[in-house]
Amino acid sequence: MTGLRRRQLLAGSMLLPLALGPHRGSAKASPHVVIVGGGFAGATAARYLARWLPEVRISLLIGRNRYYTCPFSNLAVIGERSLTSLEVGREQLATDRVSLIRLQARDFDPHHRRLRLEDGRLLHFDRLILAPGIEVLPESIEGHGPEHVATFPHAWQAAGPATDHLARRLQAVPDGGLVIVSVPEAPYRCPPGPYERASLMAWWLAHHRPRSKLIILDANEAFTKDDLFKAHWREAHPQRLSWLGRGDDGRLRRVDAGRGSVHTDFADFQPDLACVIPPQRAGAIARSADLDGGRGWCSVDPRSFASTVHPNVHVIGDAAIANPMPKSAFAAASQARICAAAIAAEFSGRQPPESLLTNTCYSLLTPTAAIAVTGSYRGTADGIETLPGSSGTSPLDAPDSLRRAEAGHARGWYASARADAFGE
């Protein structure tokens, strides 16, 4: 261990007892920002706050589990990328102002500004940023439940074992077998993600199980970049991949875990693999203190991402209602920077900067070809508006060279996003 690395770890560990003290302390104590969630949103917020407010103490709760990125996890499902390449070591986030806490948050009291950890200790804060991501709801599907996820794997939270299990289930599909990918009703994490997964699975089947078929059962009638996806499917997989939207009896109604079967209103399927992506809502801690108003997702002021229920609490990333921005890693990091800038301005006695947000979603059609959608937005008192002329998608009739270039851009974004959020 180098001297610098040792000093970083010691600094982080020395801050922890202060953060967990019985009260925020005297009037001279530095402001304390607590961030729950160490994904793209939470990590980005921590790094930018530390950069813009050197006098502020920051506690970042990252939990006990190892962290794997959702972006590029579909490549791991088809064996084109290793799981280890998706793992993020968040030790680089620890500095003399950022304390990493490997515990989960249980609940919080916004009035007394304190957060309760899983071991019962209290963490006092001046500002709380919640970035817990999503909670999946398999039990909302008839016949399904958490105990049946191994039968109907989704890997929608990109945990290493779950992604590995889905990959092994795909490899076990016999030639001539059937794969089902079911898509929940929007909103959910990564709107184009299920269609990217289906495209990559179809590519894998074409190379390894050429007589097999894949059916997408979709609870939605339309989806992001649908004209681009469908054009690719017609060209690359005309007999292999079928999409059934809501109007085509594509909505999954129930499953039978004993038989491994899936059912719509009028059709029954007995697939070799059913990748059932469940409905979703904000992570439990973000729904504490009724931040979601019973809707499952949390309403925020898009100029600062402060909760509309408790302004001392901010919600960023997948847990927030930020329409028309999608729930993506790119959007989460953009929201984190706006949130950090607003808090930094408030603590410094300045006016917050204008809330300008961006998003780009890349979707792989094959390991070497991709499509993209982009958008720029402004957060106002009335909500988030799309800036005129800022949105666009890849051309429908683009040559193969452009699709290959988009795949390269996707990899470039992934590398830069990891570096910006996690410092690696």
**Confidence band of 424 (pLDDT split at 50, 70, 90):** confident
Distance of CA 409 to the CA centre of its chain: 20
Distance of CA 223 to the CA centre of its chain: 18
Residue 23 pLDDT more than 70? Answer: no
**Whole-number pLDDT of residue 96:** 78
Tell me which of 3 and 196 has the higher pLDDT. Answer: 196
User: Tokens representing 259?
Assistant: 């038989």
E-strand spans in 3-113? 32-36, 57-61, 67-68, 87-88, 98-101, 105-109
Residue 214 pLDDT more than 90? Answer: yes
User: Tokens representing 205?
Assistant: 């089947």
- Please tell me the distance from the alpha carbon of residue 212 to that of residue 200, in angstroms, as a whole number: 14
Question: Which candidate, 110, 150, 155, places its Cα nearest to that of 129?
Answer: 110
The pLDDT tens digits for 363-410 are: 999 999 999 999 999 999 999 999 999 999 999 999 999 999 999 999
Task: Return the DSSP state at 43.
Answer: H
Beta carbons of 384 and 360 less than 8 angstroms apart? no
Range(s) of the chain covered by CATH 3.50.50.60: 3-133+283-355, 139-279
Return the CATH architecture of domain 139-279: 3-Layer(bba) Sandwich (3.50)
pTM of the entire predicted model: 0.91
**Whole-number pLDDT of residue 95:** 85
Question: Which candidate, 79, 75, 133, 76, places its Cα nearest to that of 316?
Answer: 133
In single-letter form, the type of residue at position 96 comes to D
- Please tell me the distance from the alpha carbon of residue 339 to that of residue 41, in angstroms, as a whole number: 10
> For 17-34, what is the mean pLDDT?
58
Of all residues in the chain, what percent carry a pLDDT higher than 90? 90
**Whole-number pLDDT of residue 124:** 97
The pLDDT tens digits for 26-82 are: 445 789 999 999 999 999 999 999 999 999 999 999 998 899 999 999 999 999 999
- Please tell me the distance from the alpha carbon of residue 303 to that of residue 316, in angstroms, as a whole number: 12
Return the CATH architecture of domain 3-133+283-355: 3-Layer(bba) Sandwich (3.50)
Backbone φ and ψ for 138, nearest 5 degrees, come out as -60, -30
- Please tell me the distance from the alpha carbon of residue 48 to that of residue 44, in angstroms, as a whole number: 6
E-strand spans in 297-368? 298-301, 306-307, 313-315, 320-321, 355-366
**Whole-number pLDDT of residue 199:** 98
The pLDDT tens digits for 105-146 are: 999 999 999 999 999 999 999 999 999 999 999 999 999 999
Backbone φ and ψ for 243, nearest 5 degrees, come out as -115, 125
